[in-house]
């Protein structure tokens, strides 16, 4: 099994290193990651400046690795179209610092690394740990290595991928694995407006997850209750019920 690793926290992230170490005994591991953090890059790709990729070291692993000046999606593009020579069997994006639950998926560079692989027809997994501090990397790394083998064995349907969120608990405290649906969890955004020494305004974007979004059967509920969440997702975002309803609207061309 040939596995490409990427992330949005950058090549120096301990989550990427933990993931590489867990996969190394069971796969040929290659790494292409941003040279610095690209969190919340979503599916941005680089079009208006040169993309660069330079050989780099991932800790003491000795694994083939490259650092790029691009986004997570760029990393997968560079890897598949040039750096690796031949495509990987599986792409794992992560392990992200912080959960990617509910509407986080829209902003997530981690998830978009998996999405870009899916666009190439490569089985992909996005993995996150639900904490920003004192992170237990071991359970997420071990589960990701196991899941990558399962994905390689069983395959995934066309244009689908898996989004995994792991509670920040020690291995013995995790209460199993649940196959979930995406929650409606979203952030209430706020702007902090400040003034620089010259009196010019600038802003910091902040926010917090809204309460009450951990509905039964969702990714948010599973993680809140100490279980690993595995959410199967697809690229087709068509809302069929609304599509059927719109057919009854007064939509016409030419307009009169």
The Cα angle at residue 224 between residues 129 and 212, in degrees rounded to 5: 120
How is residue 12 written in tokens?
Answer: 């120096």
Residues at the binding site for a divalent metal cation are 8-9, 39, 96
Going by DSSP bridges, is the β-strand pair 65-68/90-97 parallel, antiparallel, or unpaired? unpaired
Q: Considering only CA atoms, which of 215, 235, 233 is closest in space to residue 225?
A: 215
Residues at the binding site are 8-9, 39, 96
Centroid of chain to Cα 188: 21
> In sequence order, which residues have a C-beta less than 8 Å from that of residue 184 and are 6 or more positions away?
102, 103, 213, 215, 218
- What gap in Å lies between CA 106 and CA 184, rounded to an integer? 12
- What gap in Å lies between CA 122 and CA 125, rounded to an integer? 10
- What gap in Å lies between CA 174 and CA 48, rounded to an integer? 45
Phi, psi (deg, nearest 5) at residue 13: -70, 135
Q: Quote the DSSP letter at residue 125.
A: E
């Amino acid at each position: 099994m040939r596995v490409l690793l990427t992330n949005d926290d950058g090549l120096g992230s301990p989550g990427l290193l933990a993931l590489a170490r867990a996969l190394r005994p069971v796969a040929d591991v290659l790494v292409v990651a941003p040279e610095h953090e690209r969190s919340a890059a979503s599916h941005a790709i680089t079009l208006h400046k040169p993309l660069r990729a330079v050989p780099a070291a991932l800790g003491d692993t000795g694994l083939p690795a490259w650092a790029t000046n691009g986004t997570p999606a760029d990393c997968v593009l560079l890897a598949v179209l040039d750096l690796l020579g031949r495509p990987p069997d599986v792409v794992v994006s992560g392990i992200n610092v912080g959960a990617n639950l509910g509407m986080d998926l829209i902003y997530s560079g981690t998830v978009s690394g998996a999405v870009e692989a899916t666009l190439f027809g490569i089985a992909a997994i996005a993995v996150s740990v639900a904490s920003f501090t004192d992170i237990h990397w071991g359970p997420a790394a071990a589960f990701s290595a196991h899941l990558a083998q399962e994905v390689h064995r069983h395959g995934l349907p066309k244009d689908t991928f898996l989004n995994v969120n792991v509670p920040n608990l020690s291995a013995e405290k995790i209460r199993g694995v649940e196959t979930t649906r995406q929650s409606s969890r979203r952030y209430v955004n706020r702007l902090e407006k400040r003034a620089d020494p010259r009196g010019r305004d600038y802003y910091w974007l902040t926010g917090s997850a809204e309460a009450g979004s951990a509905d039964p059967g969702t990714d948010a509920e599973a993680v809140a209750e100490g279980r690993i969440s595995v959410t199967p997702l697809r690229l087709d975002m068509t809302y069929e019920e609304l599509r059927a309803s719109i057919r009854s609207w007064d939509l016409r061309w030419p307009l009169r």
